[in-house]
Amino acid sequence: MKAIGIFGGAFAPFHNGHLRVAIECRERLDLSVMHLIPTANPPHRTVARVSAQRRLEWLRLALRKEKGFVADDREILRQGTSFTFDTLTELRAQYPKASLVLIMGADAFAHLHTWHRWKELLNLAHLVVIARKGAKLDASAECASTLEGLRTTDPDALHNAPAGLWMQLDLPLLDISSTRIRRLLKKKQSVRGLLPDAILNHITAADIAVLTQDEDATTH
């Protein structure tokens, strides 16, 4: 079964940590394509100070030479709050016979029960939770009964059904965050090696000014 990855985030800015997670997931899970989706109006986070269109431009630059990745603008084009349920519903209509694999971090997984229509997400996709190697990851108390019996450790199982399972994927995560990048920019220090060169070479003084406004107020 064709498997499609979905990886969303503020991407303010998109950095090499994001890119490496996307590459590792695509290769380890044998995904046919990975949709990277900048959020526009997330329900749980402060809206990124950088415009959604500019964040999409950066993402497209970063992915220009990467095969099997799509800079997906559906949440930017869609009006209203950027609910993952709506995004997965659209992708399910686009890929009716494929396995959909939603990639999320451990922090997001811990708060899954607060997501809009979270119990229905597994009707639309599998969940893959990224963790550092050796980390013990369990569903929250609020999600435990719903997720009971749905955990797998076999990536191949994600290809045998269109949705309905969740698994932990241990990765050697790079110690990079958007917060760190913004703080370095604010101090006028180098961020080379943290951002894809395609973004670094196109970032402007105006971009930096927006990124570093009230830096402590934003999300990772």
Which of 112, 90, 97 shows the shortest CA–CA distance to 35? 90
pLDDT of 206 > 70? The answer is: yes
Give the Cα separation of 213 and 207 in Å (integer): 10
**Which tens digits make up the pLDDT trace of 60-116?**
999 999 999 999 999 999 988 999 999 999 999 999 999 999 999 999 999 999 999
The mean of the pLDDT values for the chain is 93
Cβ-contact 165, 158 below 8 angstroms: yes
pLDDT category at 133 given cuts 50, 70, 90 is confident
Among the ranges given (39-48, 96-105, 180-189), the one the predictor scored with the smallest mean pLDDT: 39-48
* Per-residue confidence (pLDDT) for residue 214, from 0 to 100: 60
Q: In this prediction, what percent of the chain has a pLDDT beyond 70?
A: 95
pLDDT of 117 > 70? The answer is: yes
Cβ-contact 39, 84 below 8 angstroms: no
* Per-residue confidence (pLDDT) for residue 135, from 0 to 100: 85
Those residues with Cβ within 8 angstroms of residue 204's Cβ, 6 or more apart along the chain or in another chain? none
User: What's the topology of domain 3-175?
Assistant: Rossmann fold (3.40.50)
3-state secondary structure of 83: coil
Give the Cα separation of 6 and 210 in Å (integer): 28
- Going by the DSSP 8-state scheme, the letter that residue 162 receives in this structure is S
Is the pTM above the cut of 0.85? yes
